Amino acid sequence: MFRNCKWKGRARELLLPALVLAELLSGCGAPADSVPETDQAGAAMRSEQLEESARPLSEDEILTAYHRAATLCGWFHLTPLPSGGSTIVLDGATYRQVHHDGVETLEDLRTCLRSVFSQEVTEALLAAGGETPMYRDIDGALYVTGSGRSPDPSKGHTEIEVEQTSADSYAVNISIDLLDADGETVTGLECWSFPYAFVDDRWVFTDFRLFY
């Protein structure tokens, strides 16, 4: 168990003093610059992701889903999908045509997101930007606007724990060191919990966000 981390309900943030950081559970760390590349992201969801009933999952399966989710969420918050060539100005924003194998339309992107996220999380991501959404379908092709951002330099080492919360749900519990301005001194701890549940015949994250 993570010491002094308390997760309740949906993903939430908890800041703690540096003195309570000792003896965190060892696990997989996934800083923003080492999140595994997703495979052919726009391909149809693998058949094994759709089940007639919930089955126990291995920790590796859940961690793989988490890393994939982080990569896809990063397309909206860190690094947009690669684009170039044709540009169109709509609603005051300049859109560039996306060039990524398997993700050629907005529906391709939605299908990709639904491979790891609930319907609610998927639609919330696609709605980012409001009247000038980050991604939009223009003449049958996928376009993107914006340039993303750099990872948060105040976030350091990450620890991950998978916890089964019921027969058809798990939680991916994460603690991440908070760093001082020098980028080295640990000043606190931030904790998150992302629910991974069996919903509508598939395993999906029902709440998710990037914390770095």
Q: pLDDT tens digits for 50-79?
A: 555 678 899 999 999 999 999 999 999 999
| Confidence (pLDDT) at 7 | 47
Give the β-pairing of 202-205 and 83-90. unpaired
Give the β-pairing of 141-144 and 155-166. unpaired
Rounded CA separation 87/94 (Å): 7
Rounded CA separation 123/182 (Å): 38
Contacts of 210 (CB under 8 A, 6+ apart): 32, 70, 73, 74, 77, 78
**DSSP-derived secondary structure letter, 49:** G
| Confidence (pLDDT) at 6 | 58
Q: pLDDT tens digits for 144-201?
A: 999 888 889 999 999 999 999 999 999 999 999 999 999 899 999 999 999 999 998 9
Query: Given the structure tokens 């991974």, which residue do they identify?
Result: 196
Rounded CA separation 156/153 (Å): 8
Tell me the CA distances in angstroms from 74 to 48, 57, 149, one per residue in order: 24, 25, 10
Where are the alpha helices (H) located in the chain, listed in sequence order? 59-77, 106-114, 119-126
More confident of the two residues 58 and 34: 58
